[in-house]
Amino acid sequence: MKAYRSSILRFAPDRPSRQAAVLEEDGLLVVAPNAAGVQVVKAVGQYRELIGQFPGITVEHLPGRIIATGFVDLHIHYPQTDVIGSPASGLLPWLENYTFPEEKRFSAPEYSAQAATFFIAELLRNGVTTALTFATSHPESVNAVFHEAQANGMRMITGKCLQDRHSPDGVRDETEQSLIDTEALIQQWHGTGRLGYAITPRFAPSCTDAQLRGAGELAAKYPDVWIQSHVAENKDEIIWARQLFPSSRSYLATYADFGLMRDRAIYAHCIHFDDNDRALMRETGAAAAVSPTSNLFLGSGFFDYEGADRVGYRYGLASDVGGGTSFSPFHTMLAAYYVGREGQTKPGLSLSPQTLWWQHTAGAASALRLDGVIGNLQPGCEADFLVLNPQATPLLARKTARAGSLDELLFAMIVLGDDRLIEKAVISGRN
Ligand code: GUN
Ligand code: ZN
């Protein structure tokens, strides 16, 4: 058992809104292993109230720092780390000219391994302790990132891309083999330690009916496996998807028609939706990965926060690297704020800093149906946390010193923060 004394930021269950954050100015976080050997939060609260319950415990004192739960990135592509910043007129040319040529290289295990090593280190440097990441269509790419996550003790979810059509040689897979490979990877990796598998149809236009049908069958056979894909990101993509699947009510409904919408299904983007699509998300339990830096960079559009909340379906924040431009959750939260300000039908939405933070931590965990497991610092949650240094840059130090409220403090970090704010990421209690 070990304890940390510091300011502690968390979402407490006794608040009127689950998105309301609490800052314990002089807090104590106690971590201890659970039955599976994963370090979890044993107790959290005010130092002076708690310390008496743990006589003799080793306490690491971190004055001037803030302990906060690790960020959860709901949608990222580890093989696109080197694709960041590739300009294109829109999604489809960007895929063809930059993304597919890079992803071809992941058939080589050594290439996948070095990319996975860099990727995991970059996530941790930026304070991301769990990600739902795409691999490529090559099983080697899945093995590489699982091995690296395992070596770091991280909770990580990934899967092999399914794309048996409209994809160039070198990334296109073969229908039957792709499903055999997916099932073998599920059996090898899903539930091994902290690792989870996601059935990963790249997007409906890249998959034949037979491949989507097979993916849906696997989703039914393995109900606690995740599903990830893309939907309604770009207008040209939508026209194409409608031509390829004319009998479905909408692009999103195509996935439902193949049994690919349920709890633990995460769809990236979800921009160009109508209320029937939103209701389908709510009724099936699927969740959206909102990826504002990607949507701004690729000119895809704006996520409709008001529509999502009116109909009431789950969503959380995601970087979508390499369409997205940054690994930093601070950059993603700031871009989400801009989208709220300027990208809504009704002008003037001002997403609160607590809500933005929640969407990248406990909210993203809830989208994954990992409430109470990750994304917060409540008793029982896995002890993945960050030590934030609000004095990390001269401007941050000035601005955070003047903060007169929790909202002002969080906004200072969201607007001015980047990897320099992350002094340390502790994974399952391991520094
Ligand atoms: N749609 C299909 N594949 C991709 C991808 O790699 N990135 C994004 N942003 N959208 C996609
Ligand atoms: Zn994506």
The per-residue pLDDT for 80 is: 98
Provide the 3-class DSSP secondary structure of residue 2.
strand
Taking the C-alpha atoms of residue 268 and residue 65, their distance in angstroms, rounded to an integer, is: 34
Is 294 touching ligand 1 by the criterion CB < 6 Å?
yes
Distance 230 CA to ligand 1 centre (A): 6
* Domain identity same for 322 and 361: yes
Closest ligand to Cα 289: 2
Q: Which of 367, 388, 410 finishes a domain?
A: 367
Give the CA count within 13 Å in the CB-facing half-sphere of 333. Answer: 27
Expressed as residue numbers, the domain containing 265 is 71-367
pLDDT of residue 121: 98
Mutate-to-test residue for ligand 1 from 164, 230, 290, highest number of ligand atoms within 8 A of CB:
230
Burial class (CB in 10 A: 0-12, 13-18, 19+), 58: exposed
Q: Which of 367, 391, 416 is the last residue of a domain?
A: 367
In a shared domain, residues 134 and 12: no
Residue 335: both structure tokens together: 């871009």
For the full predicted model, state whether its pTM sits above 0.95.
yes
Task: Per residue of the chain (431 residues), give pLDDT as tens.
Answer: 999 999 999 998 777 788 999 999 999 999 999 998 899 999 999 999 999 999 999 999 999 999 999 999 999 999 999 999 999 999 999 999 999 999 999 999 999 999 999 999 999 999 999 999 999 999 999 999 999 999 999 999 999 999 999 999 999 999 999 999 999 999 999 999 999 999 999 999 999 999 999 999 999 999 999 999 999 999 999 999 999 999 999 999 999 999 999 999 999 999 999 999 999 999 999 999 999 999 999 999 999 999 999 999 999 999 999 999 999 999 999 999 999 999 999 888 999 999 999 999 999 999 999 999 999 999 999 999 999 999 999 999 999 999 999 999 999 999 999 999 999 999 987 76
Long-range contacts of residues 279-284, Cβ cutoff 8 Å, at least 24 apart: 279/311, 280/252, 280/253, 280/256, 281/252, 281/311, 281/313, 281/314, 282/311, 282/312, 282/313, 284/256
Strand partners, 72: 130
Domain shared by 313 and 194, yes or no? yes
Atom of ligand 1 nearest to the CA of 230: 1
Ligand 1 test: best mutation among 99, 132, 272, most atoms within 8 Å of CB?
Answer: 99
Q: Write down the residue that tokens 């993304």 correspond to.
A: 99
- Whether residues 49 and 154 fall in one domain: no
CATH value at residue 14: 2.30.40.10
Tell me the Ramachandran region of residue 65: left when phi exceeds 0, alpha when psi lies from -120 to 50, beta otherwise.
beta
Is 95 close to ligand 1, i.e. is its CB under 6 Å away? Answer: yes
Number of structural domains in the chain: 2
Residues 325, 405, single domain; the answer is no
Evaluate: CB of 202 within 6 angstroms of ligand 1.
Answer: yes
Domain presence at residue 392: yes
Q: Could you tell me the two tokens for 161? A: 């891309």
Residues 190 and 325 in one domain: yes
pLDDT of residue 189: 98
Q: Do 201 and 333 belong to one domain?
A: yes
Tell the residue nearest (CA) to atom 7 of ligand 1.
323
pLDDT at 431: 67
Non-local CB neighbours of 232 within 8 Å, separated by 6+ positions = 238, 251, 252, 269, 270, 271, 272, 273, 277
Regarding whether 358 and 214 lie in a shared domain, the answer is yes
Q: How many Cα neighbours within 13 Å face the side chain of 107?
A: 9
Q: Which atom of ligand 1 is nearest to the CA of 237?
A: 1
DSSP assignment of 316-383, as one string? EE---BTTBS-S-HHHHHHHHHHHHHHSSSSS-----HHHHHHHTTHHHHHHTT-TTTSSS-STTSB-
Ligand 1 pocket, 225 CB below 6 A? no
> Is ligand 1 within 6 A of the CB of residue 173?
no
What's the rounded Cα separation, in Å, for the pair 392 and 419? 10
Residue nearest to atom 8 of ligand 1 (CA): 323
As to burial, measured by CB atoms within 10 angstroms (0-12 exposed, 13-18 middle, 19+ buried), residue 231 is buried
Q: Which residues pair with 365 in a beta bridge?
A: none
Which of 317, 334, 367 represents a domain boundary (last residue)?
367
99 pocket-lining for ligand 1 (C-beta < 6 Å) = yes
Q: Given ligand 1 and candidates 83, 96, 163, 233, which is best to mutate, with the most ligand atoms within 8 Å of its CB?
A: 233
CA distance 323 to 115: 17
In a domain, 223, yes or no: yes
Whether 258 and 391 map to the same domain: the answer is no
Amino acid identity for residue 98 in this structure: Y
Q: Where are the alpha helices (H) located in 260-328, listed in sequence order?
A: 275-284, 292-297, 305-311
* C-beta 203 within 6 A of ligand 1: yes
Is residue 120 within 6 Å of ligand 1 at its C-beta?
no
User: Is 391 exposed, middle or buried (CB count within 10 Å of its CB: 0-12, 13-18, 19+)?
Assistant: middle
Copy the structure tokens of residue 129. 């302790």
For residue 185, being part of any structural domain is answered with yes
Using most ligand atoms within 8 A of CB, pick from 77, 81, 95 the residue to mutate for ligand 1: 95
For the CA atoms of 270, 321, 264, 225, the dihedral, rounded to the nearest 10 degrees, stands at 140
CB 57 within 8 A of CB 3: yes
Is residue 398, in this structure, part of any structural domain at all? yes
Instruction: State whether 171 and 159 are in the same domain.
Output: yes
Using DSSP bridges, classify how beta strands 385-388 and 59-69 pair: parallel, antiparallel or unpaired.
antiparallel
DSSP helix/strand/coil, 428:
coil
Residues 259, 404 within the same domain: no
Whether 160 and 275 share a structural domain: yes
Which amino acid is present at 133?
A: T
Does residue 233's CB lie within 6 angstroms of at least one atom of ligand 1? yes
CATH number of domain containing 204: 3.20.20.140
Evaluate whether residue 431 is within a structural domain. Answer: no
